[in-house]
A and B are shown apart, each in its own frame.
Chain A
Amino acid sequence: MTESPILRTIVQTSLYVIKLLALWIYMRGHQEPGGGFAAGLIVAAAIVLQGLAFGIKEAERFFPLPPHITTAIGLTLSLSTVIGPMLVGHAFMDHTFGYLYPPIIGKSEWATAALFDLGVFFVVVGALKSIILSIASEKSADQQISGEAELGANSAGEGEAG
């Protein structure tokens, strides 16, 4: 964690942009470069950024769900889009798509592949968040270097409680 007000200010404002960016990257994944995996990685990067600027507690709060639950939700979502088709008589992993014509927005596409991708997004966010938090909140006994690389200086007690 750093006390630098410059970093904190920049991070605080840029996080909104990063969140939007992740959403945008996920949404456009169906038609243009992007997708759940990249979006998940961006969120992970944002979590790291948050941790660097405000400490581990804030990083934990960045994505509202606990990491293992996020991962579980993602995996369940992906698996259900894979197994779901079997239950209604289609082949395993038979994705489908179609078009809706809601007012104002006009022709929009829906696809079960996007749900699968959303699952990927959640898994990436959850797994990486779990990794980041567990590494960062670990206070090493034989620690030699401290300072800019140490995310969790204020969370030593937490690491021990875990």
Chain B
Amino acid sequence: MNLALASIFWPFLGALVMMPLYPLFRRRLGWAALVVALGALALVLITPAGLSTTLPWVPQLGINLTVAVDGWGRMLAYLITGIGSLVLLYSILYLDQREDLGKFYTYLLLFMGAMLGVVLAGNLVTLYIFWELTSVSSFMLIGFWWTGLGGNYGSLKSLLLTVGGGFCMLGGILLLGQIGGTYEWGALLAQKEAILAHPSAGIALVLILLGAFAKSAQVPFHIWLPDAMAAPTPVSAYLHSATMVKAGLFLVGRIWPLFASHPYWLPIVSTVGLLTMALGAFLALQKTDLKAILALSTVSQLGLIMSLFGLGTSEGLGAGVFHLLNHAIFKGLLFMVVGIIDHETGTRDIRRLSGLRKAMPVSAVLMAIGAASMAGVPLFNGFLSKEAFLDAVYHSPLGLTGAVVATLASMLTTLYCLVLVLKVFFGEPAEDLPKHPHEAPKLMLAAPAVLALLAIAIGVLPELVYGILADATGALVVSYSLEVGGFHGVSPALIMSATALGGGALLYTQRGALVDLFRRWTPQNLHLNRLYNALWWEEQYVERGAKRLNGLQMTGLLRDYLITTFVVIIAAVLGTVWYKGIRFGELDLAPIALHEAILIGLMLAGAILTVRARTRLTAMVAITLIGMPTALWYALMRAPDLALTQLVVEVVSTVLFLVVFAHLPQLKVYPRTPRIQDVNVVVATGVGLVAGLITLFANGHRIFKPEIAQFYLDNAYKGGGAHNVVNVTIADFRGFDTMFEITVLTIAGLAIFTLIRLRQPKGGERK
């Protein structure tokens, strides 16, 4: 049994059993989910790097379910399963027992499996599929509290933006596959030079990056993350800070070895990253909702890591990998504490919260640790990676500009970290909170406490994670020596760090004026949210445009549809005949016997009668006059199967028609203006011509020799074990068609059922 595959499928399996287990466990279902998550963690821990396995899926197209474990994927897998377990532990008390826990844990485990699939995938198409699966589960989780408007808005927004980005990414992946001739990542990497030299490589890169940016909430896609905060806080901590939003970073890291030296790489990735970092911090300060602050600070920190990956240097990459790990730890911690505050006081508004230090001492300490780590205070893990970040930017091609932007953004980060701790926990205790604040139960504090311990442990003894980091970075670059931690003397990075911390503390005293200034600088009307709302939410321009486009073709008149269909068929066939210069070839036509002439006459009469009919009943009988001779014809041609089927179809459909007629108004004869008549004549003649021509061509050109029919005759018994060639063909040789036909029949049956049962009567009210 392959361990990597097992660790992907184990959470999926868990997700499947959550709903059936819910009636048994009720409010204790979280423990069952926790067991699943711990199992996944154990599987990930014992999965060695370098493991690779391929299950063929659609091998003809190069699409395989390939898992390839390397240090980079493993590090993310630790985060996914480790933080996932802690979040599940935390969620047990966070979620009210009246919530639909079965669904919640199903989605959460589904996400865990999908995310593991993303980071362990070795085939780009596999990666894409798991990637979109994370978007879907994120959609479900954001919309978990769907009764409020926020849940609907946020979930739809995140889905549209991340899946839209994912679509671009699919384009990039397909392009890359075309260039390299494979979707296997290892094989693509092996032909790096050839791919980079290809003229389309830049397009593929940009498309893939769009997907990564959308997923990791980079400018201009950052607008979905704050609205995703409508999700329950465990989800925010898990998906929208620690793991899912890291998928974009993971992908950028994944393609780093291939594309880092591409001329587009540095300008696009690092510029977008730095811009996101600055904008996120700038916007975070203006928010008053604790979760909104954290969301935008996540945007900012993701931008920081993105810019590090964008530098294209191995130092930048190493620092980015380290900060990714640290950010997952401290941001998960911060979200959990904010969730506790929300849970215990009933509000997340920083204007109302203050002085909680006495009531919630443990939470205060935990929040302080998380904030200190995020701000980059020495002895906390964030300090080390932030130093590495400032150092990498300083020594990169971005030089001084990059350094100034980085320092300013870090200064703002320090500022809102101070707000998180000082404003909420110090000062006069707030009086008018919705709930009387008190400390959360120990079980709820356990998960953030573990993360806080990790933050300090890594900060003091970075050697603890050297192995993981070296493996992760080593999987992406050939040679790299890890240098984090320790005192390097007074370096530019240390000065920048000190400036950021000191400046932030100074700004805190003036924060009221600063926030006012920032608000004035923010052009509310030009906000990207306005654009999104115009397109998809309030004005719904996209939907209205689609409707209008649809309305052009969907007139509701059967005649229009038939004309469109027939004209296309006529044009395609006649066009091909003319373009390819097809001749009749050697016709082998039988003479028309008398009984055949009679049948033809009957059918012709039926056709004319049908068209001329003034009532439905006449038309119905006339149509039977076409169908019955057809059945007879099949019998004459020694095709009893067809004759039988045709006969039964004819009977059943006639009866059904009769039954329906009772509900239909009198046949409406549309006015036959000369223009309509002319078009009808032309189209009808064209269809007849095409049908006749095709028959004659088919007769004149027996392309497959010996004929196809002979193949079926020869193989029906040998291959299918049956004497009825028609049925072997239907069920076996061409069973694929039949399979879809019965699927269509099922859908048609359901559709008719639904349409009739839910139809609106003339009064307009729904039954």
Residue A35 is within 8 A (CB to CB) of chain B in the complex: yes
Expressed in whole angstroms, the Cα–Cα distance for A82 and B759 within the complex equals 36
Expressed in whole angstroms, the Cα–Cα distance for A41 and B742 within the complex equals 13
Which A residues from 61 to 75 make CB contacts under 8 A with B? 67-68, 71-72, 74-75
Expressed in whole angstroms, the Cα–Cα distance for A72 and B720 within the complex equals 26
Identify the closest chain B residue to A35 (Cβ). B727
Task: Digitize A119-148: 1 where CB-to-B-CB distance is under 8 Å, 0 elsewhere.
Answer: 110011011101110111010111111100
Task: Digitize B722-739: 1 where CB-to-A-CB distance is under 8 Å, 0 elsewhere.
Answer: 111011101110011011
Expressed in whole angstroms, the Cα–Cα distance for A88 and B728 within the complex equals 22
Specify which chain A residues have a CB less than 8 angstroms from the CB of B640 in the assembled complex: 33
Specify which chain A residues have a CB less than 8 angstroms from the CB of B735 in the assembled complex: 82, 93, 95, 113, 116
Given contacts A45-B655, A123-B746, contact A97 B720 (CB under 8 A): yes
Residue B480 is within 8 A (CB to CB) of chain A in the complex: no
Q: Are the CB atoms of A95 and B731 closer together than 8 Å?
A: yes
Expressed in whole angstroms, the Cα–Cα distance for A93 and B727 within the complex equals 15
Expressed in whole angstroms, the Cα–Cα distance for A93 and B739 within the complex equals 10
Residue A79 is within 8 A (CB to CB) of chain B in the complex: yes
Q: Are the CB atoms of A130 and B753 closer together than 8 Å?
A: yes
Residue B688 is within 8 A (CB to CB) of chain A in the complex: no
Closest-CB distance, B487 to chain A (whole angstroms): 60
Q: Are the CB atoms of A31 and B724 closer together than 8 Å?
A: yes
Closest-CB distance, A107 to chain B (whole angstroms): 12
Q: Are the CB atoms of A33 and B724 closer together than 8 Å?
A: yes
Given contacts A75-B746, A134-B757, A143-B663, contact A35 B724 (CB under 8 A): yes
Given contacts A45-B655, A149-B659, contact A138 B756 (CB under 8 A): yes
Q: Are the CB atoms of A162 and B757 closer together than 8 Å?
A: yes
Expressed in whole angstroms, the Cα–Cα distance for A162 and B766 within the complex equals 12
Size of the chain A interface, CB-CB below 8 angstroms: 63
Q: Are the CB atoms of A95 and B732 closer together than 8 Å?
A: yes
Specify which chain A residues have a CB less than 8 angstroms from the CB of B743 in the assembled complex: 75
Given contacts A30-B727, A79-B739, A120-B738, contact A145 B720 (CB under 8 A): no
Expressed in whole angstroms, the Cα–Cα distance for A135 and B732 within the complex equals 34
Identify the closest chain B residue to A41 (Cβ). B648
Specify which chain B residues have a CB less than 8 angstroms from the CB of A11 in the assembled complex: none
Expressed in whole angstroms, the Cα–Cα distance for A12 and B685 within the complex equals 48
Q: Are the CB atoms of B742 and A48 closer together than 8 Å?
A: no
Expressed in whole angstroms, the Cα–Cα distance for A35 and B440 within the complex equals 68
Q: Are the CB atoms of A149 and B656 closer together than 8 Å?
A: no
Residue B203 is within 8 A (CB to CB) of chain A in the complex: no
Using a Cβ cutoff of 8 Å, how many contacts connect chains A and B?
A: 170
Q: Are the CB atoms of A127 and B748 closer together than 8 Å?
A: yes
Residue A60 is within 8 A (CB to CB) of chain B in the complex: no
Specify which chain B residues have a CB less than 8 angstroms from the CB of A151 in the assembled complex: 659
Q: Are the CB atoms of A123 and B641 closer together than 8 Å?
A: no
Identify the closest chain A residue to B738 (Cβ). A120
Specify which chain A residues have a CB less than 8 angstroms from the CB of B730 in the assembled complex: 35, 37, 117
Expressed in whole angstroms, the Cα–Cα distance for A35 and B725 within the complex equals 11
Contact of B663 among A74, A128, A140 (CB under 8 A): A140
Q: Are the CB atoms of A38 and B656 closer together than 8 Å?
A: no
Specify which chain B residues have a CB less than 8 angstroms from the CB of A140 in the assembled complex: 662-663
Expressed in whole angstroms, the Cα–Cα distance for A93 and B655 within the complex equals 36
Residue B577 is within 8 A (CB to CB) of chain A in the complex: no
Closest-CB distance, B230 to chain A (whole angstroms): 35
Closest-CB distance, B234 to chain A (whole angstroms): 36
Q: Are the CB atoms of A34 and B720 closer together than 8 Å?
A: no
Q: Are the CB atoms of A124 and B745 closer together than 8 Å?
A: yes
Specify which chain A residues have a CB less than 8 angstroms from the CB of B648 in the assembled complex: 38, 41-42, 45
Q: Are the CB atoms of B746 and A127 closer together than 8 Å?
A: yes
Given contacts A33-B640, A113-B722, contact A149 B662 (CB under 8 A): yes
Q: Are the CB atoms of A144 and B720 closer together than 8 Å?
A: no
Specify which chain A residues have a CB less than 8 angstroms from the CB of B649 in the assembled complex: 41
Expressed in whole angstroms, the Cα–Cα distance for A34 and B640 within the complex equals 8
Residue A160 is within 8 A (CB to CB) of chain B in the complex: yes
Specify which chain B residues have a CB less than 8 angstroms from the CB of A35 in the assembled complex: 641, 724, 726-727, 730-731
Identify the closest chain B residue to A116 (Cβ). B731
Closest-CB distance, A83 to chain B (whole angstroms): 10
Given contacts A113-B722, A113-B731, contact A144 B665 (CB under 8 A): yes
11 contacting pairs across A/B (C-beta < 8 A): A75-B746, A109-B722, A111-B722, A113-B735, A126-B749, A128-B652, A130-B749, A134-B756, A135-B656, A136-B659, A141-B762
Query: Considering the complex of A and B, which 5 residue pairs feature the smallest CB-CB distances, nearest first?
Result: A127-B749, A97-B721, A33-B640, A140-B663, A41-B648
> Known pairs A38-B641, A45-B652. 11 more at Cβ < 8 A?
A38-B648, A41-B649, A42-B648, A68-B753, A95-B731, A116-B731, A119-B742, A124-B742, A132-B659, A145-B662, A150-B659
Chain A residues packing against B (C-beta within 8 Å): 25, 28-38, 41-42, 44-45, 48, 52, 67-68, 71-72, 74-75, 78-79, 82, 93, 95, 97-98, 109, 111, 113-114, 116-117, 119-120, 123-124, 126-128, 130-132, 134-136, 138, 140-146, 149-151, 160, 162
